[in-house]
Amino acid sequence: MLRRSKLPSHATISSLFKSLSSFLPSTLLVGLQIHALGLKLSISRHSFAGSALVHFYSKARLPLEALNAFDEIPDQDEVCYGALIVGLAQNHCDAKSLSVFAAMRSNAVVSSTMYSVSGALRAAAHLAALEQSRIIHAHAIVCGLVNNLVVSTALVDSYGKSGMTSDAWMLFDGMLVDANLVMWNAMLSAYAHQGDTKRTMELFNEMLRRYFQPDEYTFIAVLTACSNAGLAEDAERWIYCMSSRHGVVPGVEHYTCLVGSLARVGRLAEAELVALTMPCEPDAAVWRTLLSGSVVHRAAGMAKAAGHRLLELDPRDDSAYVMLANMYSSMGKKNEADELWSEMKDRKVKKEGGRSWIEVRGEVHIFIAGDRRHKRMADICAKLKELMEEVGKLGYKEMDEGLQYHSERLAMAFGVVSGSVPQGKSLRVVKNLRICGDCHEFFKYVCRVIEREIVVRDANRYHIFQDGFCSCKDCW
């Protein structure tokens, strides 16, 4: 076209970006050239071409460039907003995705679509932001999208990832006639992350009775349920029958669940054997899972071996250093712990900061370990001090004063002092990392003091603290 001196239109540019998006990252350089051409011809700012450009940058894992491309469009329509909201959610820019969705809703000219609503729900699901999910749910009802299969599936997923399996089930049950495999998997996953094997198996069997053919995601949910519940024998059986009976070849994620199931119950040698003999190449997640299980069971030799293999695959994985160093410290092996911290420093590997967030009146408040910048920090610290005194009376002993300002404790204390959680309702905290053993023990006492259920979703699973016990049975 260019050789024949035919100038491309916004439709041409849009089609090119859509094609290039399917072959990323190898087509990124070509996409940049097309973008430059679009700028020269003053057509990339057209909403039609601009939305395709936003989608292209989102698929290329360049959310900032996607946002910049969106800002360059003078007449932003529902397609542009939908592309950006979905793109930001796909790149885990969840708070920004929800912010853009709120801005779209305040624009009376732009209407919501299934893409913008489902994208916002995906962001809320990543944050486990229950109130945001409910707000978007209400909006979907008002704009007539709640019965859309894509939106309803996103709602099931969002409520499930917020730990509200009863709400997820109500939506799923209402759409049961129209539900596709994606929605069935979303509901299965909701039960699986709670370790509710009974309901997971019941739903799986019902799915088979309705002639749905399970896929790899179905079995990830089933195996996750087994792993979270510590049912190693069941996990082994499912790995075998998913291929022999259902024709689905187990992949690395399925074997990771099996390793986790075995490690959870202390069958570490068998877990290591699975990792070494699995038909696919074990990735970092496999060795990280084995390392975590070894640390829980204080098997120093196995933990060291798993940590070494993990660092061979990813020398900059901070979790390997941190888990091993913390294990050595808890076992009184200070020299070994110091060596690991020094090695981590020499390799210039930075420990990922602990972040926790809690939703209060529809607003997500984020806390960082040791952070004192929150406007109500004085009240938070006073409440933590008060709780420390109360749990001390019940027998809790703090191992280190520095633990008082871990992010999950700050978020929990803010939830208490804010008074936003009615008595009898769960106090819900989300954390980006695995909850540490001391904070886990602390929460078991705190739930007795404040006389309410505390739900913590960490990087591994849900922890439901009630009456001095945790649903994970102290293994995560």
Quick check: 431 and 354 in contact, CB under 8 A? yes
Separation CA 463–CA 458 (nearest Å) = 8
Residue 84 makes CB contacts below 8 A (sequence gap 6+) with 54, 58, 66, 67, 70, 97, 100
Q: How confident is the model at residue 221 (pLDDT cuts 50, 70, 90)?
A: very high
Separation CA 351–CA 358 (nearest Å) = 22
Cβ neighbours, 10 Å, residue 256: 26
Is the pLDDT score of 208 beyond 90?
yes
Is the pLDDT score of 400 beyond 70?
no
List the one residue out of 248, 277, 279 whose CA is nearest residue 262. Answer: 277
Separation CA 346–CA 417 (nearest Å) = 42
Is the pLDDT score of 421 beyond 70?
no
Separation CA 54–CA 64 (nearest Å) = 10
Which three-class secondary structure state does DSSP give residue 97? helix
Is the pLDDT score of 476 beyond 80?
no
Of the candidate ranges 8-12, 369-373, 382-386, 440-444, the one whose mean pLDDT is the lowest: 369-373
What pLDDT was estimated at residue 399?
A: 67
List the one residue out of 157, 100, 152, 110 whose CA is nearest residue 130. Answer: 157
List the one residue out of 145, 148, 93, 97 whose CA is nearest residue 121. Answer: 97
What pLDDT was estimated at residue 120?
A: 96
Separation CA 128–CA 351 (nearest Å) = 24
List the one residue out of 450, 451, 447 whose CA is nearest residue 417. Answer: 450
Dihedral, 417, 418, 423, 428 alpha carbons, nearest 10: -100
- pTM score, whole prediction: 0.84
Is the pLDDT score of 437 beyond 90?
no
For residue range 50-65, list pLDDT tens digits in order. 999 999 999 999 999 9
The H or E element that residue 469 is part of is: strand 469-470
Residue 33 makes CB contacts below 8 A (sequence gap 6+) with none
What pLDDT was estimated at residue 373?
A: 80
Which three-class secondary structure state does DSSP give residue 362? coil
Domain boundaries, the chain: 357-470
How many degrees, rounded to 5, is the angle at CA 100 between CA 96 and CA 102? 115
Quick check: 340 and 324 in contact, CB under 8 A? yes
Pairing of the two strands 454-457 and 462-466: antiparallel
Question: Helix crossing, 149-161 with 114-127: angle to 10°?
Answer: 10
The H or E element that residue 182 is part of is: helix 181-192
Separation CA 204–CA 187 (nearest Å) = 10
Cα separations in angstroms, 360 against 209, 364, 429: 42, 6, 11
Is the pLDDT score of 320 beyond 90?
no
Separation CA 191–CA 198 (nearest Å) = 9
Q: How confident is the model at residue 298 (pLDDT cuts 50, 70, 90)?
A: confident
The amino acid at residue 320 is A
The amino acid at residue 335 is N
What pLDDT was estimated at residue 422?
A: 62
- Looking up tokens 């209060």, which residue turns up? 360
Q: How confident is the model at residue 333 (pLDDT cuts 50, 70, 90)?
A: confident
Which three-class secondary structure state does DSSP give residue 348? coil
Query: For 401, which DSSP code?
Result: G
Separation CA 133–CA 129 (nearest Å) = 6
Query: For 46, which DSSP code?
Result: S
For residue range 138-160, list pLDDT tens digits in order. 999 999 999 999 999 999 999 99
Q: Which two tokens stand for residue 103?
A: 């801005």
